[in-house]
Amino acid sequence: MTDNIGPVDASANPRYSGIATFARLPRIEDVASADIAIVGVPFDAGVSYRPGARFGPSHVRESSRLLRPYNPAQDVSPFSAAQVVDAGDIPANPFDIDAAVEEIESAALDLGGRVQRIVTVGGDHTIALPLLRAVAKQHGPVAVLHFDAHLDTWDTYFGAPVTHGTPFRRASEEGLIDLTASCHVGTRGPLYSKQDLEDDERLGFSIVSSVDIETQGVEAAIDRMLRRLGDRPVYVSIDIDVLDPAHAPGTGTPEAGGMTSRELLRMLRSLSVCDIVGADVVEVSPAYDHAQVTGIAASHVVYELVTLMAARIATHGGARA
């Protein structure tokens, strides 16, 4: 077995130069085979407030240039443990949400046949629905671990059933998620009514809110999260607005009182006991970012997810333990 191809050597080619693949990793066409692919979906036709997440994938790639090959927090060298590549972007129709959703699902299924795991960088949260459709076709209903300021289980908005605020209602209705093991983390802020919470519970989610994390602590939140997930295959979906606007201003629907980036990374690292079968990081809108604050946070989130997947592949060959 040949050694994996890793990032461009920063001692030979400065980090600010060269093609901006994620973490300066090889492109998928540059390797014979790959284990983990990072792919962008530059789509934001489903947003309800600030647009601009279509530029998220390129912004996160640019913000990832300082990532290095060894992750000391997890004691893993992810790019040595698995062949990780940048698979470019999935093109999605910017004028027709239904057509875009079909295109994303088809491309995710195709890419999923070539690699073991995919981490998708959005784009708005609409893309979680086609990604979950693709994952469920491979793994059956999955436990959805959803980090977000918002529930994203609303029914319609201006009569539209598929937007960035509805993906997990549609996923629940379609039988894509495990109703006994799915969980929101970091939710906060005003709702339309208490009925939102009642509907959300019926759709299969428990909640570890931002207030819970503040009052009970991160370790207690981790314990609740892991007990909820159990031993199911897990799909992790992260809206960058789960972070407080102080840590992620570059997003479309910011809410005060969110998690710190340190808290989010700590909670992600605790998932080393889980089988993460797919993940997305969405809603980075660079027009509202400053000094790559949001892009850097998102790139580190992707890095932690890739590390978790690479360690799992190295230990279990990608199979569930």
Pair 260, 221: CB distance under 8 Å: no
pLDDT over 90 at 73, yes or no: yes
pLDDT at 317: 78
Q: Could you give the domains of the chain?
A: 24-316 (3.40.800.10)
Cis peptide before 123 (omega within 30 of 0): yes
Least confident of 272-276, 301-305, 316-320: 316-320
- Is 102 or 2 the better-scoring residue by pLDDT? 102
Q: pLDDT by residue (tens digit) across 13-49?
A: 999 998 899 999 999 999 999 999 999 999 999 999 9
pLDDT band at 142 (very low <50, low <70, confident <90, very high): very high
- Give mean pLDDT, residues 109-136: 98
What does pTM read for this prediction?
0.96
- 36-41 vs 143-147, strand pairing mode: unpaired
Residue 49's alpha-carbon distances to 6, 61, 253, 283, 296, in angstroms, are: 38, 24, 6, 11, 23
- Give mean pLDDT, residues 301-309: 98
Three-state DSSP class for residue 235: strand
pLDDT band at 182 (very low <50, low <70, confident <90, very high): very high
Tell me how far apart the alpha carbons of residues 277 and 248 are, in angstroms, rounded to a whole number: 26
Q: What is the DSSP track for 24-40?
A: GPPBGGGSS--SEEEEE
Residue 102's alpha-carbon distances to 133, 139, 175, in angstroms, are: 10, 19, 17
Q: What is the chain's length?
A: 321
- Give mean pLDDT, residues 181-190: 98
**Average pLDDT in the chain:** 96
Tell me how far apart the alpha carbons of residues 190 and 60 are, in angstroms, rounded to a whole number: 29
pLDDT at 320: 41
pLDDT at 321: 36
Q: pLDDT by residue (tens digit) across 218-235?
A: 999 999 999 999 999 999
pLDDT at 108: 98
